[in-house]
Amino acid sequence: MVTILIIGIDIISENPKKFAVVSWFNGKIEKKGEFTLYRLLKFIRSKRPDIVAIDSVTELGNDLKRFLRELPEGTKLVQVTGRPGEQKSLWSLAREYGIRVGDKFDPYEEAKVSALLASKGVGYEVLAFEDEVLITVTRGRSQGKGGWSQDRYRRRVHSLIQAKVREIEEALRRADIPFDLEIEERDYGVSRGEFRVYAGREELAGLVKPMRGGDVEIRIQPVERKVLEFVPLKAETAIEERKSIIVGLDPGITVGIAAIDLDGNIISVYSEKNMALSEIVRFISELGHPIIVATDVNPAPGLVEKIARSFKAQLFVPRESLKVEEKNELLKNLGISVSDDHQRDALAAAYKAYLRYKPKLEHIEARLKELGLWKKRNEIKALILSGYSLGEAIMKVKTQEKPREEVVTEREESVDIKPYLKRIEELERTVEELERENSELKAIIEEQRKIIEKLERKLEEFDERVRFKVLKEREIRARDERIAILERKLREEKRKVDILARKLAQTKKMRRLELSGKVMPLKALETLTWRDIEKLEEEIGIKKGDVLYVVNPAGAGKRIAEYLINKKIRALISQNQVPAIIAQEFWRERIPILIEGEDINVIRLDEFVVVKRKELERAIEEKIKEFEEEERRKELEGILRVIEEYRIERVKELRRKAEEERKQ
């Protein structure tokens, strides 16, 4: 059994706000004392309990949102008395679960009962945040008053922010966590990046860490829900209080939701675009408590698994994904039509799950008839689908009924029953009148049945004609859908043809310039970034012997330099000075870097950038000579250094010998 720590709290005074605190661990209750709100939060953060139990979150007042925000990861705030509008008193719950109660006016006693109820799985978890997180990357320090050094510092910070945004983006992609990213580009870098990550804080643990105090600041904030959500702490608690249902889900841009009860009756079929996770949970909660959450595909989508976990429901996944024909057949058996494919998929998933468990449910109903527990069949069936055996479910239901029966018996002994006996006689007379009316209605029903049979025979005569009309309409609708699909494909192919035509024309112009022999076209990049390099590769490619031209090389790193070196480019022409790391890597491989205006002149013709071929050859030769002279200079410096070191060592040795001779 997994050991958990539960802290029960109850308010002692409002001004100043103080709380009575007890802890429950491995079945032992310990009184912790009186805490202010600040000390209570500090205590919770140090102990990191699994649950903080309270009888009503209204006791936290305006500090509720702050309290939830400062809870450590993995700690739940649980309201043990139930969700708002459906709450039970703390003391009635204590009697129901066999918890002994002392002084009801003692805050420590209320805190103790709250902790014990939570240990039995009673209560609702209070959720104030969506399963979404905002990650903001910005500068962390002021940039000063201005000047050249301030400009350089600003560009450096923007490059650091850009690198950090890329690092977080790669980490999220590796972890397969969905997100949206908005960036503000500035000074050939990024001044701000904001990620909206569709996952909880626990899923980001170890991937992204907050950062403060340096040049770059990273803030991680959960997204607040519009209203507080109350989720059952334990599945069987919700079974007792609310109708048990089987839910089918079809996630996507448009979410399909279907719900049926444990007798196979349809409760709701619904679909809506862009539903948030909390909206889906709220919609399902209003229908009832899901015992099974079903999907029509295998493997199950992540959203369906998350919904099932949030309700602590069984997840139903078919052995293989349902085909369209099978879904249509399931809906035909139900005798229902739906508005769209999302509703169809959700309803088919729910009904498929029901059919899987139907034989088991029918067997349970037969056994309950024999045992005289027919009225409790839905509650017992829900408990069995949640993992209980038949015997355990029956014992649980009977155990819950005993306290109620005892309370009724005690009350009956102290109540005058004469008014009730009179009321019983009146009801018996009413029953006799209803029985006579029932007999009359049965006769009317029989007559109506005969009329219906006649009408059904007439309908059969038109059945063939109607069927033919329906089939024709279906064929026309299917043909229109195919035409629409083909038109979309045609537009997409035309767009691709236009793009390829532009690329071909550009390639031909570049080829003509190369064949002229006087000028050489350059393959141009706006910035020396992966995005621009990938775009150039896609459009015309980078091959051995190419000369690249870049407007702004700032922010490029060693990996980009290695990539271009592996491509075996001949030279790089830049409008601005390149980063030192690029220059070092290119110098090591003897690839010239030419600066526009200093080493070579660049000519712009329409959308092309060219240089005079002779001027390019001359500039490359000069750079290669510079490489060779630099090598010779370094070799000479190395030789001179060796000679100097030898001379110094020789002088030291002669001095040592002279010293030894003097001593002798």
The end-to-end CA distance of the chain, in Å, is 88
DSSP 8-state symbol, 49? -
Tell me the residue range of the domain where 488 lies. Answer: 416-494
Q: Which residues pair with 133 in a beta bridge?
A: 197, 222
Helix (H) or strand (E) holding 228: strand 216-232
Whether residue 269 contacts residue 258, with contact meaning beta carbons closer than 8 Å, is answered with yes
Do 145 and 244 share a domain, yes or no? no
pLDDT in tens, 567-619: 899 899 998 888 988 888 888 888 999 888 888 888 876 567 888 888 888 88
Residue pLDDT, tens place only, 89-137: 898 888 888 888 888 788 999 999 999 998 888 899 888 877 778 899 9
Tokens of 97: 């679960």
pLDDT given at position 259: 94
pLDDT digits (tens, 9 = 90+) for 436-458: 778 778 878 888 888 888 887 77
Q: Looking at the domain assignment, is residue 411 inside a domain?
A: no
pLDDT digits (tens, 9 = 90+) for 369-417: 777 777 777 788 888 777 677 767 777 776 665 444 443 333 334 445 5
Picking from 226, 248, 278, the residue at the C-terminal end of a domain is 226
Q: How many domains does the chain have?
A: 5
Residue 390 lies in a domain: no
Residues 475 and 557 in one domain: no
How is residue 320 written in tokens? 């293989």
Q: Is residue 646 a part of any domain in this protein?
A: no
Do 480 and 526 sit in the same domain of this protein?
no
What is the C-alpha to C-alpha distance for residues 317 and 353, in angstroms, rounded to an integer?
8
Same domain, yes or no: 253 and 373 = yes
- Flag whether 274 is in a domain: yes
- For the chain, residues with pLDDT lower than 50 are 1-2, 145-148, 235-240, 402-415
Of 70, 95, 122, the residue that ends a domain is 122
Share of the chain above pLDDT 70, in %: 88
Tokens 């305006």, residue located? 62
Any idea what the CATH number is for the domain that residue 34 is in? Answer: 3.30.420
Q: How many Å apart are CA 155 and CA 170, to the nearest integer?
A: 23
User: 474 lies in a domain?
Assistant: yes
**Residues 278, 370 within the same domain:** yes
Residues 80 and 153 in one domain: no
Domain-embedded: residue 400:
no
Task: Mark 161-178 as b/e (b = at least 16 C-beta within 10 Å).
Answer: bbebbbebeeebeeeebe
250 and 373 share one domain: yes
Shared domain check, 262 and 370: yes
Q: Are residues 9 and 111 in the same domain?
A: yes
Q: Is residue 641 part of a domain?
A: no
Domain assignment present for residue 396? The answer is no
Residues 255 and 364 in one domain: yes
Pairing of strands 51-54, 76-79: parallel
Identify the domain boundary among 494, 529, 544.
Answer: 494
Q: To 5 degrees, how large is the angle CA 519–CA 524–CA 525?
A: 165
pTM metric for this prediction:
0.38
Q: What is the CATH number of the domain that holds 173?
A: 3.30.70
Residue 149: per-residue pLDDT: 59
Shared domain for 206 and 334, answered yes or no, is no
Residues 98 and 179 in one domain: no
Q: How far apart are CA 250 and CA 257, in angstroms?
A: 7
